[in-house]
Amino acid sequence: MLCIPYLTYICKHNFNDLDMGYNLLKGKKGIIFGALNDKSIAWKVAEKAYEEGAEFTLSNTPVACRMGEVIELSKKCNAELIPADATKIDDLEEVYKKSMEVLGGKIDFVLHSIGMSLNVRKKRVYHDLDYNYLQKTLDISAISFHKVMQVGFKLDAISEGGSVLALSYVAAQRTLYGYNDMADAKALLESIARSFGYIFGRERKVRVNTISQSPTPTTAGSGVKGIDGLMDFSDRMSPLGNASAEECANYCVVMFSDFTSKVTMQNLYHDGGFSSMGMSMRAMTQYNKSFENEDVSTKY
Ligand SMILES: NC(=O)c1ccc[n+]([C@@H]2O[C@H](COP(=O)([O-])OP(=O)(O)OC[C@H]3O[C@@H](n4cnc5c(N)ncnc54)[C@H](O)[C@@H]3O)[C@@H](O)[C@H]2O)c1
């Protein structure tokens, strides 16, 4: 029979293990792009990766680094903060070189958590796009992912078995009112993941994937027209409900770990089941409420 002090020891030990994480990323070195504030998905990924034993650098635009809360995160995670506009090759080269210098070797994981549309910000609708803004949307939200990989590839900065991830949204496959030109950016982003994933896998044994995340209340997310309605709808449609930023961070950590070493060129849905649904009971109930004073049976 186990004595009480020994049981106390086991419980304490196990709870401490949970607090400390599982060391899934022990010894791994990474770069995390896109943590702006504590709502950002990248912020949660940084916290989780730190908890799981990774060492990494953080990068965001010079203005976000100067003004943002990301300095606080860099202190908390003991991570060097390297300003970079992810659309600029020189800046990205600096991120890799500085990261390899401070972390002492090649990079094992990269998170691209970057997105921005001026058309969305300036409330230009999809049938009245500003094409200069569209170019910027595509460059910032999709082509920057290619740049992040091309620079890493040319500098031979990513180690064998490494994992590169970007964050996507189901608007790449389906039309969702209000998502605007970001839908096109996400479609391109996912295509880049496949195209570069083939080359990175073949040449360097590096895997490349996108995670298609539920709508999430972040700075980027809140710019989307009707985001509250969209979040409620997608929550009602998903058997498991919307996935939170923390849950997304858990998935990212698994994708950086050695437990997913043969997963590549995939768009991985992390959306509580939304992408496989057509209509749910919860969504139908809410939808029917809008007809309460109307006789719908005469319509069809
Ligand atoms: N929030 C959602 O509903 C949701 C859902 C699915 C996917 N995503 C994707 O997740 C990613 C992260 O977004 P988030 O929701 O955490 O919002 P966020 O606003 O916290 O993050 C977006 C980041 O992009 C950075 N950024 C913008 N322009 C940049 C540039 N030129 N160079 C470098 N960085 C730049 C911003 O500074 C910010 O840190 C984005 O790709 C977004 O499209 C978000």
The pLDDT of residue 292: 82
Query: Please, which pLDDT band fits residue 234 given cuts at 50, 70 and 90?
Result: very high
Write down the pLDDT at residue 19.
55
pLDDT the model gives residue 55: 98
Ligand 1 centroid, distance to 42 Cα (angstroms): 8
pLDDT of residue 223: 80
Check whether 250 has a pLDDT greater than 70.
Answer: yes
Tell me if 197 CB under 6 Å of ligand 1: no
Q: What is the pLDDT, as a whole number, of residue 300?
A: 58
Q: What mean pLDDT is predicted for residues 93-99? A: 98
Closest ligand 1 atom to residue 141 Cα is: 41
Is the shortest distance between the CB of 60 and ligand 1 below 6 Å? yes
pLDDT tens, residue by residue, 126-157: 999 999 999 999 999 999 999 999 999 999 99
Summarised one tens digit per residue, pLDDT across range 1-24 is 444 554 444 444 444 444 568 999
Quote the pTM value. 0.93
Does the beta carbon of 120 lie inside 6 Å of ligand 1? no
Please tell me the least confidently modeled range out of 84-88, 208-212, 220-224, 238-242.
220-224
The tokens 């989780």 sit on which residue? 48
CB distance 86 to 148 below 8 Å: yes
pLDDT of res. 290: 86
| From 36, 81, 225, 244, mutation site for ligand 1 pocket: most ligand atoms within 8 A of C-beta | 36
Q: What is the mean pLDDT of the chain?
A: 92
CA distances from 204 to 93, 96, 229, 254, 281 (A): 19, 17, 43, 20, 47
* Contact of 33 with 113, CB cutoff 8 Å: yes
| pLDDT per residue as tens digits for the range 39-66 | 999 999 999 999 999 999 999 999 999 9
Q: In this structure, which long-range contacts are made by residues 197-204, counting pairs with CB atoms below 8 Å and at least 24 apart in sequence?
A: 197/264, 197/265, 198/265, 199/153, 200/149, 200/153, 200/158, 200/164, 201/264, 201/265, 203/153, 204/153, 204/156, 204/158, 204/160, 204/162
290 versus 180: the higher-pLDDT residue is 180
pLDDT of the residue at 298: 63
Laid out side by side, the sheet with 158-168 consists of 81-83, 55-60, 29-33, 107-112, 158-168, 207-213, 266-270
pLDDT at position 225, please?
78
pLDDT bucket at 297, cuts 50 / 70 / 90? low
Distances (CA, A) of 208 to 34, 201, 233, 258: 18, 8, 30, 14
Please name the residue whose Cα sits nearest to atom 31 of ligand 1: 85
Q: How is residue 221 written in tokens? A: 């997310």
CB contact at 8 A, 115 and 140? yes
Q: Compute CA distances 187 → 12, 68, 78, 150, 183, whole Å.
A: 47, 29, 35, 19, 6
User: 2 CA distance to ligand 1 centroid (A)?
Assistant: 51
115 lines ligand 1 (CB under 6 A): yes
Centroid of ligand 1 to alpha carbon of 22 (angstroms)? 27
- CA separation (Å) from 35 to 44, 47, 83, 291? 8, 10, 12, 43
Point out the ligand 1 atom lying closest to the alpha carbon of residue 182: 43
Residue 10: what pLDDT?
Answer: 45
Per cent of the chain over pLDDT 90 is 84
What is the band of 294 on the pLDDT scale with cuts at 50, 70, 90?
confident
Residues 148-177 have a mean pLDDT of: 98
pLDDT of 27: 97
Q: Where are the beta strands (DSSP E) in the chain?
A: 29-33, 55-60, 81-83, 107-112, 158-168, 207-213, 266-270
Q: How far is the CA of 138 from the centre of ligand 1 (A)?
A: 13
Contacts of 30 (CB under 8 A, 6+ apart): 49, 54, 55, 56, 57, 107, 108, 109, 110, 111, 256
